Amino acid sequence: MNAIASWNEADKRTDAIAGDRRRERRYGIELELRWKLVHRRKVLENGVGRTIDLSSGGILFDARQNLPAGLNVELSVSWPVLLHNVAPLQLVVIGRIVRTDGCHAALRMTQYEFRTIASAPERHQPQSRTHSPVPLLGGLKSMPSPWRQ
């Protein structure tokens, strides 16, 4: 093997070691979240923050305060998509804090699920005689009836 080929091989090995070695692709997305620091089924602390990036295996987030590595945390992330264009969603993630850097904490996921969020109850408004009630189907609300006059 000549000197140039061995130099290129050594360079490739160095890039592989120095580069990002995570298995899952990370997506830089900023979403609001609420966190709970949990130890032995007791909530030690809670707060709000924002995601920095996420993958299928973990989340890097700004907790707005220092959190200790090694403890379990539950995140409730406000998801930017509605279920069936109607119901707000949140991603609930349970995991362990594996690394911290100031207010930033890296979480390794052990469990996650999407949940619907109960929206605030609509205020009761009297129906007008020009509107006929239509059940909520696919996001449709009461619409004026073209046959009533």
Whether the per-residue pLDDT at 138 is higher than 50: the answer is: no
The CATH number of residue 89's host domain is 2.40.10.220
Instruction: Work out how many domains the chain is built from and give that number.
Output: 1
> In which domain, by residue range, is 105 found?
21-60+68-116
Q: CA dihedral in degrees (136, 139, 143, 145; nearest 10)?
A: -70
Quick check: 6 and 51 in contact, CB under 8 A?
no
For 50-87, what is each residue's pLDDT tens digit?
A: 999 999 999 999 999 999 999 999 999 999 999 999 99
In a domain, 107, yes or no: yes
In a domain, 106, yes or no: yes
User: Average pLDDT, whole number, for the chain?
Assistant: 77
Residue 118 pLDDT level (bands cut at 50, 70, 90) = confident
In a domain, 55, yes or no: yes
- Average pLDDT of the segment spanning 100-117: 96
